[in-house]
Amino acid sequence: MRLQVLGGFGGESIDCRMTCLLINDTIALDAGSLSQALPIERQAEVHSILLSHSHMDHTNSLPFFIENVYGKRDRGIGIHASEATIYAIRKYLFNNATWPDFTRLPNHLVPVMRFDEFESEKPLTIDGVTFTPIAVDHLVPTHGFLIEQDGAAILWSSDTGPTRRLWEVANRTPNLKALCIETSFDNALQPIADVSLHLTPQTLQAELRKLQRRVPILVHHLKPPCVERIKEEVKKLRNPDIDFLEQGKEYDF
Ligand SMILES: [Zn+2]
Ligand SMILES: [Zn+2]
């Protein structure tokens, strides 16, 4: 499986794009920067998008992506998300006030995008890649994903505070090649991390005690103003398994 990091951050600045991973060129995991990071002809190859939750840093590019690929595909774009995320996206984004309801355009029978609801722990397979949504602990209903293809698995946390199920899945998946875990704020912002259900380097360290095996850890979703401090504090953990998920990089698993 080939994973390209289009956006690896929990916010936006000149250097930081919002959360979006491209899998095998055709499937996007979240849509924080799909339209900003790919040429339009490559955006038109993307036919499925999985959304972890409704927050803007994960859905921001969806309206512009849909407009960019409008009329370029025979089949509509499949947007896979939980019931709560679909409700929020319909109500607050594609509501004809913020942006047109593209589930009814060009007509409701053959729309450019369609929603497909997934459930926690029920795997869905797209083009030979299996995604199992794992509920994590964040301000709104949110899922990380176990992503599997050809005997390789990676686990991606999306946004979460201290959580349990994700680590259980990590411990019971023998072919796990990497675990991508969020760390949004530096330690000085612990109170903000706690109320917004995100991790800091110190709560990351506590979370990693739930992992009963060695696996490469890739830290993602840093908030742009915290990047330098988070990197220093993570380095001080002196854990040789920890690295950062690098924006722009392609990973092969
Ligand atoms: Zn986020
Ligand atoms: Zn979030």
Stretch 148-177: mean pLDDT, rounded?
Answer: 98
Tokens at 31, concatenated: 């849509």
From start to end of the chain, where are the E strands? 2-7, 20-23, 27-29, 48-50, 77-81, 113-117, 124-126, 129-136, 142-149, 152-156, 176-182, 217-220, 242-244, 250-252
- DSSP-based three-state secondary structure for 77: strand
Predicted pLDDT of residue 110: 87
Distance of CA 82 to the CA centre of its chain: 13
Gap from CA of 220 to ligand 1 centroid (Å): 10
Give the model confidence (pLDDT) of 188-232 as tens digits: 999 999 999 999 999 999 999 999 999 999 999 999 999 999 999
Predicted pLDDT of residue 61: 98
Stretch 10-17: mean pLDDT, rounded?
Answer: 98
Q: In whole angstroms, give the CA distance from residue 216 to residue 180.
A: 9
pLDDT class of 166 with cuts at 50, 70, 90: very high
Q: Which ligand is nearest to the CA of 196?
A: 2
Predicted pLDDT of residue 201: 98
Give the model confidence (pLDDT) of 46-89 as tens digits: 999 999 999 999 999 999 999 999 999 888 999 999 999 999 99
Is the distance from CB of 44 to CB of 28 less than 8 angstroms? no
Q: Which ligand is nearest to the CA of 18?
A: 1
Gap from CA of 59 to ligand 1 centroid (Å): 9
Gap from CA of 218 to ligand 1 centroid (Å): 16
Gap from CA of 15 to ligand 2 centroid (Å): 20
Q: What is the mean pLDDT of the chain?
A: 97
Q: Is the pLDDT of residue 39 over 90?
A: yes
Predicted pLDDT of residue 109: 85
Q: In whole angstroms, give the CA distance from residue 223 to residue 8.
A: 10
Q: Which ligand is nearest to the CA of 10?
A: 1
Enter the pTM of the model. 0.97
Map tokens 């991973």 to a residue: 21
Q: Is the pLDDT of residue 121 over 90?
A: yes
Gap from CA of 183 to ligand 2 centroid (Å): 12
Residue 40 burial (10 A CB sphere; 0-12, 13-18, 19+): exposed
Gap from CA of 55 to ligand 1 centroid (Å): 6
Gap from CA of 66 to ligand 1 centroid (Å): 21
Q: In whole angstroms, give the CA distance from residue 3 to residue 111.
A: 28
